[in-house]
Each structure stands twice: as C-alpha cells, then as structure tokens.
Chains A and B, each alone.
Chain A
C-alpha cells in the first residue's frame, strides 16, 4: 500500500513548512465550503449608500434580501428588493436572485426574473457577490433594450425613451402601464 504519510512528510520537508495542524480532536460541525465562501464574499461586500441588506435569519447567511435605492438614473427615488439564495453548490453555481416587487423594466420580468449575464450564462466561480450587486446596480442605471425580458418595456425604451421614462415614473408611483398595475415603490 502506498505511503502518503511519508510523502507528506517529504513534501513538508521540501516546503520547509513549519505550520502544524495539530493532533486529533473530536472534529465536528465542519464549516462547508459554500458557507465559507459566502462569508468571505459578505465580509468584502461594498454596498455604498444606495444599497443595504436584510438577513431574516442571521445564522443562515445563504439567504438574504438586498435593497437597492438608485440615486441617479430613471429609477431614482424608487426602492427595490432582491432575494438572494445561495445554493450548496456556490460558487460553482451562481446565486439565485429575484426581484420581489413587480417592476417595469426591460431586463426584469413581471415575476421578478432578472436577465443579467453573470447570473446565468456568464457566471464563473471567480465572480463574487460584489460582482452581482454591481450588475444589479448597473441594470437600474442602464436598462438595456437589446436583451429584453419584458418585451413591452424594451419596445418602449427603444422607440420612445421619454415615454419609457414616464412609464417608469408611473409604475414606481403605483399606477398602471400597458394594462399592468404596479405597487408604489417610491421612498
């Protein structure tokens, strides 16, 4: 049988590593890799003044709500929230992000699904939660008519930018746009 132990000793000699990992202790309740990574991402989160978080259960850092209050752009004055659900496969899989309010936005559909490349096809494990929230912020500053999830909103943005801006105001104020009624999200 192979002797990994002696290999390890050899390797340690080579690396001249002095760090000991210590003797056997009852090892219990290990911190999982997904949680460690989420902890790391959260402790480096830069939310700025326009965003805040809420943890329904602080012991479960894999599930939280992000509030976004854009201070410029067409959605200025509104307050939107997104649920973040991090799966045990994180960071192999992206976090699941969904908008809780009904929103008139070309890249977010009426169910709250978000069309953001890094939340789906362009996610890489090297990306972190900061990248995702920067992406969300960007969607509010630069709604994008060429990747529509809400086709009507995208059409409006493409054909009549001023009309689109008005519609955003109406929707955020709790009015109806194109037969859909929205809840008031102004602060």
Chain B
C-alpha cells in the first residue's frame, strides 16, 4: 500500500500556474473588479465551507485546497464504510469506521502545505446562523434533497439587505450515476434551490397495483416484498435497511414471488440496491462535477472570469449517459418561491398585549396584504386557521389570547396564507413595540 507521505515539487512551483491566473488580467477578467495584487491574499483570508465529505466532498476538498483556498471547514455526519473506498480517495481501509470529515481534513492537510481544514463531525442542522455567517462561500456535495433545502433556506434567510456580508454564494454539486449538475445560487438575487425543486426528478415509482398483481421485472418483486409483504407479515418491528437479516428476509420473499411469476434476476445485491434506492456512484461523474464547482468557487473568489449565476446562466447540467453532453442555462427565480420569493418582512409596532384577533384583523389593513381571511402559523404552533372547519374550531380559542400568552416573541417569524392569494405565502417577522 502506498503511503501518503509524498514530497511535492517546491511550494512556489506548485502555485505557479494558479498565480498566473490570480495575478494577471486575462481576456475574461472584469476590468472593474479584478485586482491581481490582492487576489491571492484575499483568497488566503477567505473562509469557505464544504458540506459533505463523501464522493463529491473528497474531490471538492482536494480541488479547493489546490486552488489556493487556505481556510476550509467541512461538515459531514457520516463515518467511512468499506464500500466508499473505490471512489472516496481520501480514505483507506484502516479508516473504516472513522468520521469522513475528520479523515478527509487530515489527509488533505498532509498533502497540501499551508491549508487548514476544520472538520465538523455532525449534521448541518446542528449549527445556527452565527456559524454559517463566518463563511464567505458555501460549496455543497450532498446526496439528499432535504439537506440541500435546509442549507438553502438557511442562507436565504440569513440575507439582511443592510449587511453586505450576509450574502453567501452557494455552489451546489450533485451526481446520480452518469448524470450531474453544478449550479450557483446567489441568495435572493438568483433562483434558489427551492425555486429549482422541480429539476430533481422524483424517484421513478412503479404503480402499486402493478406490484400487487402483474410484476414484470425482478425490481417489481423486490418492491412488492418491501412495500406490501413486509407490512402484511411484519417479520421484525421496524425495517432496518442496513440489517442483513432484514434484507435477507426481503430477498427470500422476492425470490419466491419471482419464481411464482417466472421472473429471473432477483439477487441479494439487487434486493439491497432496490430497497436502499442505490444508484451506483460513478467516480468520473463526481470528479467532473466537483471540478466545475471548484472552478466556480475560484472564479467567484478571484474575479478572474465570469462565473455561473449572474446575470445569465446559473445551472449547468452534465450527462455522461450517451457520450458527453452538457447544457448550461438560466433557471428563473420563482416569485412565489416559499423560501426566496417571500423573505420575511418586518411587521413593526406590534403591541405584545394585542390579542391574536387584533393581529389577524391588522392584515386586512396592511396595504401589501389586504387579507380578508388570513390563516396564521408560527413554526410548530398553529395560531389560527380559517380552514378546514375542524382546525378552525380548534384554533378559534387562540383568537382571544394575547400574543404573549401564545408564546410569541420579538423577532418571531409567522406564515400567513389567504385563499384569495392562492400563489402567495406571506412571511412576517414580528417586531414588538418596546
């Protein structure tokens, strides 16, 4: 096994090509904003956050460190599994079971002199606004839509128009098999991940009745065992997709059903793949997408060339399914986007002695709202809903309570909807009179 202790060429030589880009104006540099004298130093002082230290994350960390970023943080809650080793090249067999962020950070620090990588072995949700505020740039290599939506909402909600540093560009990479995408989001300026939610094709599902009555493929038999037979027989209380015993049960069931319908091809690993929705990760796709993301980071940080995002194209898709194809386009912002379409507006001069009824009635008088039938909720607290009738009856008593009695605090965000404005959701931030 090769050791990781290698001796790169002398340090200045390592950065020679990069510095050519960073110090000299070129055909693509913006004459108004490019200043070759300060770029390298500015980049060294920049704090950049990488989310995910998996397939994309390993590539991103390596690329960013080699692109001259010196202060990198990385978040990943996962530990290393043996199946990661074929493509997550910062990990070795002896690292199995250790935290990905930790191992990746140490590896890159060893190989690239002068870079500081701070690992966080936890969930992105464990940090608050203050944590994310310290970075100038966020790069994501995530595998879940949920996590993307979370960080997107966080960065959009952090925007404070009065504070220049509150705008954090988000670079998001994603891959699935031979396909991938790289996009840049400038919160509240260009379309956000929530605006682009329809770009993620939902998992192709097979009609339930096909599974139940006319399976044609081995996958149908496995899905049948997974969604129907399991619930009927409940061999274990809860399905644990990582428990070999559970997968074996599903495999046996699927095999039996496949024989019944004369369908070949059900195997243990296919069962595992279908149940866990595994799409084989392709190392080459990861490196293409991570390279594109890192390129955007370098361009944004140095102004050495126009970057993805403003004012035109903000979304690059890549497909390696049939030869190589990329297409870059502009995804428009959605005015009714629930995250960036409606930034919470301040709702000033609220008297905390008001009853909820006073607050609800006040929306009719607000010029931008003029809501006749507003329904109002705060996170985790339904204040008053005009519909459906049962919920209206349950929340009606709240109308006579004061805002304080309802647990509302200064700065709290509320969501307001009204059937007259079917496409709009209003978000307000309560500001109490002192």
Residues of A within 8 A of B (CB): 1-5, 7-8, 11, 19-33, 35-37, 39-40, 42-45, 47, 52-55, 58-61, 64, 88-89, 92-93, 107, 109, 111, 113-115, 117, 120-121, 123-125, 147-149, 151, 154
Q: How many residues of B contact A (CB 8 A)?
A: 85
User: From residue A1, how far is it (CB to closest CB) to chain B in Å?
Assistant: 6
Shortest Cβ-Cβ A-B pairs, 7 listed: A22-B346, A147-B209, A4-B167, A5-B164, A26-B411, A31-B415, A58-B394
6 additional A-B residue pairs with CB within 8 Å, beyond A36-B417, A125-B198: A4-B187, A27-B344, A28-B409, A35-B415, A43-B373, A120-B208
Question: Among the listed stretches B86-94, B155-163, B285-293, B317-325, which one makes contact with chain A, having 4 or more residues with CB under 8 Å of it?
Answer: B155-163
Is B395 interfacial (CB-CB < 8 Å)? yes
Q: Does A8 contact B418, Cβ atoms closer than 8 Å?
A: no
A21 to B339, CA, bound (A): 14
Main secondary structure of the interface of A (DSSP, over half): loop
* Selected contact of A45 from candidates B187, B200, B377, B387, CB within 8 Å: B387
Number of A-B contacts (CB under 8 A): 207
Is the Cβ of B153 less than 8 Å from the Cβ of A30? yes
Q: Is the CB of B429 within 8 A of A25?
A: yes
Q: B268: CB under 8 A from chain A?
A: no
Contact A59 B385 (CB under 8 A): no
> B212 to A115, Cβ gap below 8 A?
yes
Binding site for A on B (CB under 8 A): 33, 42, 46, 129, 136, 145-146, 149, 153, 157-164, 166-167, 169, 186-189, 194, 197-198, 200, 202, 204-209, 212-213, 227-228, 231-232, 300-301, 303, 307, 310, 338-339, 343-346, 368, 373, 375, 377-382, 385-391, 394-395, 409-415, 417-419, 422, 425, 427, 429, 431
Which residue of B has the minimal Cβ distance to A57?
Answer: B382
Chain B residues near A24 (CB, 8 Å)?
160, 162-163, 166
CA distance A158 to B281 in the complex (A): 46
Shortest beta-carbon distance from B302 to chain A in Å: 8
Q: Is the CB of A42 within 8 A of B388?
A: yes
CA gap between A112 and B101 in the complex, in Å: 43
Q: Report yes or no: B188 in contact with A8, Cβ–Cβ below 8 A.
A: yes
Taking CB as reference atom, which chain B residue is nearest A5? B164
Known: A22-B429, A26-B411. A55 touches B228 (CB 8 A): no
- CB-CB < 8 A to A52: which residues of B? 388-390
Q: How far is the CB of B225 from chain A (nearest CB, A)?
A: 14
**Is the CB–CB distance between A44 and B167 below 8 Å?**
no
The answer, among B46, B345, B377, for a CB contact under 8 Å with A31, is B377
**Structural contact, B427 and A31, CB atoms closer than 8 A:** yes
Cα distance A127–B44 when bound, in Å? Answer: 47
Q: Is the CB of A36 within 8 A of B415?
A: yes
Bound Cα distance A114, B231 (Å): 14
C-alpha spacing A92/B388, complex, angstroms: 23
Query: For the complex, what is the distance from the CA of A44 to the CA of B374, rounded to whole Å?
Result: 11
A113–B211 Cα gap in the complex (Å)?
Answer: 12
CB distance from A20 to the nearest CB of B (A): 7
Please measure, in the bound complex, the distance between the C-alpha atom of A27 and the C-alpha atom of B128, giving whole angstroms. 11
Contact A31 B378 (CB under 8 A): yes
Q: Are A4 and B153 in contact (CB under 8 A)?
A: no
Is there contact, CB below 8 Å, between A4 and B189?
Answer: yes
Q: Which of B307, B385, B410 is in CB contact (< 8 Å) with A43?
A: B385
Out of A1, A43, A120, A124, name the residue touching B42 (CB < 8 Å).
A1
Q: Are B394 and A151 in contact (CB under 8 A)?
A: no
The residue that B425 contacts in the complex, of A29, A39, A59, with Cβ under 8 A, is A39
Q: Is the CB of B425 within 8 A of A40?
A: yes
Q: In the docked arrangement, what's the CA distance between A44 and B420, Å?
A: 9
Choose one: A8, A22, A30, A154; the contact of B167 (CB below 8 Å): A8
Q: Could you say which residues of chain A place their CB within 8 Å of the CB of B189? A: 4, 7-8, 11
Assembled-state Cα–Cα distance A127/B10 (Å):
59
Asked whether A125 lies within 8 Å of B197 as measured between CB atoms, the reply is yes
| Cβ contacts under 8 Å, A25 to chain B | 346, 410-411, 429, 431
- Of A19, A22, A55, which is within 8 A of B391 by CB? A55
CB proximity of A19 to chain B, nearest CB, Å: 7
Chain A residue contacts of B200, Cβ below 8 A: 92
B161 touches A115 (CB 8 A): no
Complex Cα gap A139–B301 (Å): 56
